Homo-oligomer: A and B are copies of this chain.
Amino acid sequence: MARRRLDPATRREKILDAAVAYFAEVGFDGPTRDLAARAGVTQALLYRYFPSKQALVEAVFERVYLGRLDPRWLVEVRDRSLPIETRLSRFYGAYTRAIFTYEWMRIFMWAGLSGDALNRRYLEHVGDSLLAPLAEEIGAADGRRRPGPEDMWNLHGSIVYLGIRRFIYRLPTPDDVGPVIEGAIGRFLAGFRHGA
Using a CB–CB distance below 8 Å, which chain A residues touch chain B?
A: 27, 29, 106, 109-110, 112-115, 119-120, 123-124, 150-151, 153-162, 164-165, 168-171, 174, 180, 182-184, 186-196
Q: Judge whether B196 and A182 touch: CB under 8 Å.
A: yes
Given A153-B165, A158-B158, A161-B156, decide whether A183 and B170 contact each other with a Cβ distance below 8 A. no
Residue in chain B with minimal CB distance to A124: B171
- One complex includes copies of this chain to the number of 2
Q: Judge whether A157 and B161 touch: CB under 8 Å.
A: yes
Q: Judge whether A170 and B110 touch: CB under 8 Å.
A: no
Q: How far is the CA of A151 from the CA of B188 in the complex (A)?
A: 12
Which residues from B are CB-within-8-Å of A113? Answer: 27, 106, 109-110, 113, 168
Known pairs A157-B158, A194-B194; list 20 more (Cβ under 8 Å).
Answer: A27-B27, A115-B170, A120-B169, A123-B169, A151-B183, A154-B158, A154-B180, A157-B157, A157-B161, A157-B165, A158-B158, A160-B161, A164-B164, A186-B195, A187-B188, A187-B192, A187-B195, A189-B191, A190-B190, A191-B192
Shortest A54–chain B CB gap in Å is 16
